[in-house]
Every structure is written in structure tokens, then in C-alpha cells.
Amino acid sequence: MMQQGNVQSAPNGLIMVTGAGGQLGQELVALLRSEGFHVHGVTRAELDITDSEAVSRYIRQLRPEAVVHAAAYTQVDRAEVEEDEAFRCNALGTRNVAVAAEQIGARLVYISTDYVYSGDGDTPYNEWSDTGPINVYGRSKLAGEQFVRELHRRFFIVRTSWVYGPYGPNFVKTMLRLGTENKEVRVVDDQRGAPTYTLDLSRAVIALLHTERYGVYHVSNSGQCSWYEFACEIFKQARMEVKVTPILTSEMPRPAARPRYSVLEPMMLRLNGLPLLPPWQQSLHHYLQGRSGE
């Protein structure tokens, strides 16, 4: 177990996690508790982050040492027709959390996304690469980043990609279900990124909280693949006989455009001497081994 460093030295060492009912939030709360942290997870039902007064009151009463802001509007396609709602949650909600955290001197971790990039390139994006989101979801998350930069002094912005884990729906679970039901799937092969296991992402967030090396970080599992290659590896490791057919994005049109290439380079982790995440294939294996007992 890592030493708790700066977190432990706080008056009560309390860490608040928003979005505690979500895929990453549940993982974060469980891991923080297992490592002996005093953690308070808050769900959407318990706190409406779009209500600035409610957020200010909640955080002022709780007085956490750090806030990990994992709550978000994540319905990428629906955001195209619910733009106001996406911005209300991802931009204004983040503004509210950032202001309230700054008011009581709490450090802030904001979970962001690879979708802040256009995907037009073919080399990994580092933390200083120009952003240029191509859908409403990406624009709303980037707006949240901008509020964090403007309104908070001690923050970590953590961009990640293609997240999966034991909690909530995700691509791995979808493939396993479709493979069982149909024995044949069609998967996009012209979008590349890096799958990220929520356990590894949570460990990286905790590692950042041990430091005061604030800034923007790219945190995803090492390596890259297409969705098609990801699916093939899932079935290979799960030892499932499933026919996987590669297709173009144009053959499966969606309301929201997706970045063609959104691999994140963890330059800030390297520069600050922090651990890089394991290869995505290794983490997928760890996740699937855990599922075998379900």
C-alpha cells in the first residue's frame, strides 16, 4: 500500500467523490476505502451538481481535503440533441464543484476525456497538444476543463479514454453479451484509442493525490488498438468462439462524430516520475480473471 502523504496530513483526510454511482466513481470509492482513506461518495440522487447553491452548501458542510469530480453527462450520442443538458452538467456542474472546492481550500481532480481532441492526427496526443472536440460531449467536457483552470488553483485534470470495469455498462461487457447471444459481431476498425481499466485509472488518481504536482495528465492503459482489435482480444482472452467482422465508421453511423485517432500520450506522468499504466492487454486479462468468479 502506498503512503498517504499529503492526503493523510490534512485535518480530516476526507476525500469526496462525485459520480459515486458511476463506473469510475464506484471503483474509486471502493479502492480508496480499501487503502484506508476516509472517503465520502456522493451520487446524482444525493447532490445535483448543476445547483450551485446546493453544491456550495454540501461541500462547505463536508469540508473534504480533496474532491474527485467524476460525475458527468456521458451519453455521447444523446448530447447532440441535449446540448444544453450536456453543458449544464459537464460545464456548469464542474464550475460549481470547482468554485466550492476552491472556497474551502480543497484540492480538485477533474476526470476528462480523449474526446477533447479532433482525432485528425496519427500520433498520440500529449497534454500540450491542441484540443479541438468534434462533438457536443467533447466540447462540454473541454468547457469543464476551462472552468477548472480559471476557478481553481490546485487541480489535476485527468484525461482518459475507452473506460471499462466491473461497474456499469461498457464495451467489454457489451462484447461478451453479444458474443454469447449471436456468436458474430461487427465492430468499427477505423477508430483508434487506448482501452482503460477503471482499477488502473483509480490507482493513478490516488497516486496523483499523494503529490502536489498539479496540472493536466493523460491517464490510459499503455498501447493502442482499434475497437475491432479490442473486440478480438476480448474474445481471445475469454476463450469465446466469435466471428468478428471489421467495418468502417460510415457503415455504423451515429448521431455524434467520434475522433478517428485519440490515443493519449502520458507525458506528464513520465515528466513527474509517476507510474505509467500497464499495457491494455494485461489489464484486460486482470479484469476478465476477476469476472470469472461472478
Catalytic residues, which ones? 137
139 is written with which cell numbers? Answer: 466540447
DSSP-assigned letter for residue 130:
P
124 is written with which cell numbers? Answer: 498520440
Tally of CB atoms within 10 A around 218: 24
Rounded Cα distance, 153 and 63, in Å: 17
DSSP letters, 136-162, are HHHHHHHHHHHHHHHH-SSEEEEEE-S
Phi, psi (rounded to 5 degrees) for 149? -60, -40
Beta bridge partners of 42: 18
By the 8 A CB rule, do 110 and 94 touch? yes
Rounded Cα distance, 115 and 152, in Å: 22
Place of cell 467533447: 138
Q: How far is CA 163 from CA 7, 24, 72, 98, 206, in A?
A: 26, 8, 14, 24, 17
Q: Which of 161, 163, 124, 268 is nearest to 207 (CA)?
A: 268
Burial (CB < 10 A; 0-12, 13-18, 19+), residue 289, is exposed
By the 8 A CB rule, do 196 and 137 touch? no
DSSP H or E stretch at residue 28: helix 23-34
How many angstroms from the chain centroid is the CA of residue 175?
A: 20
192 is written with which cell numbers? Answer: 483508434
